[in-house]
Structure 1
């Protein structure tokens, strides 16, 4: 498998970034839902949010790297059997996923820095607070963060279902290309 994308399938870097982001998003979603249920006296009451914030900042950096990589190694051309609606839907879904992910991270940042405190990223470096207005900012950003998180999870499930539809019903190479493979009859 090549590092860069080819005309027929994704390369190792694109595949690794895709699945790394997918795993991180679902882990962050689960962690976020779990941490809001913790009582003040739970040992994870302070640890879970710090972990959530640190992973969120790393996820932001990963998304930036992923976007840069996408310009350096463009995605394979759409399969010739795709209808125009399929191509437009795929592009729209990917744009929506990116916008939602960036919006989730920005709203998380606004929640975390509402009190003027910087975010410590695994104790390695700090991300400073820029906009602070404790009560109103944290409440608004918190509600937005939750709805955006649910939106990205729902949209990503639709994205996965579409990949399975292509694989099992259409029997095309859509899913195999994201796994770095292609069918024996595709010539790749």
Structure 2
């Protein structure tokens, strides 16, 4: 398996970042929905948010690494069989996913640091609070965070459905390229 992306397939680093982040985003969504249902006396009441914050920081780091990796190892070009509208839609969807992910992570940071305290990442190190305005910041960021979380889950579900459509209906290599298989129909 190749490390870098090629004109016909994604490399192992891009695939690992893609699938690990997809799993983490859905896990974080589930964790977030679950933790807001906990009562003060539940054993996970304090632990779940700390876990959520730590994973969120790891996700932010992975997102930055992923974007830097795209500069070092650009993704394969769109398939020749894809229409111009499909290519534009795919670029717009990817940009939207990246933008919403960044916005979720920033809003999570603002919620977590609203009281002026740093975020402890798995107890290993702290991420300092740069902005702090307690109630107002936390409330607004919390609402934004929730809506963006639903947005990224919806967008990623559409992304997955589009990949399945390409695979089963269009019978092209869009999905298989993200699974490490070469595409004979590559290039712009």
TM-score range, shorter chain: over 0.9
Write the deviation string for residues 35-81 of structure 1: whole angstroms up to 9, x where unpaired.
Answer: 00000000000000000000000100000000111100000011001
In the other structure, the counterpart of 1:18 is 18
Question: How much has 1:11 moved relative to structure 2?
Answer: 0.4
Q: Distance in 2 between matches of 1:19 and 1:37?
A: 28
In the other structure, the counterpart of 1:69 is 69
Provide the TM-score with structure 1 as the length reference.
Answer: 0.97
Higher relative contact order (CA 8 A, sep 6+): 2
Question: How much has 1:182 moved relative to structure 2?
Answer: 3.5
Query: Is 1:148 equivalent to 2:148 in the alignment?
Result: yes
In structure 2, list runs of 5 or more residues that go unmatched: none
In the other structure, the counterpart of 2:120 is 120
- Report runs of 4+ in structure 1 exceeding 6 Å deviation: none
In the other structure, the counterpart of 2:81 is 81
SS in 2 for 1:170: coil
Provide the TM-score with structure 2 as the length reference.
Answer: 0.97
In the other structure, the counterpart of 1:134 is 134
Question: How much has 1:187 moved relative to structure 2?
Answer: 8.2
Q: Distance in 1 between matches of 2:9 and 2:185?
A: 11
Q: What is the Cα-based RMSD across aligned positions, in Å?
A: 1.1
Asked if structure 1 preserves the Cα contact closer than 8 Å seen for 2:81 and 2:185, the reply is no
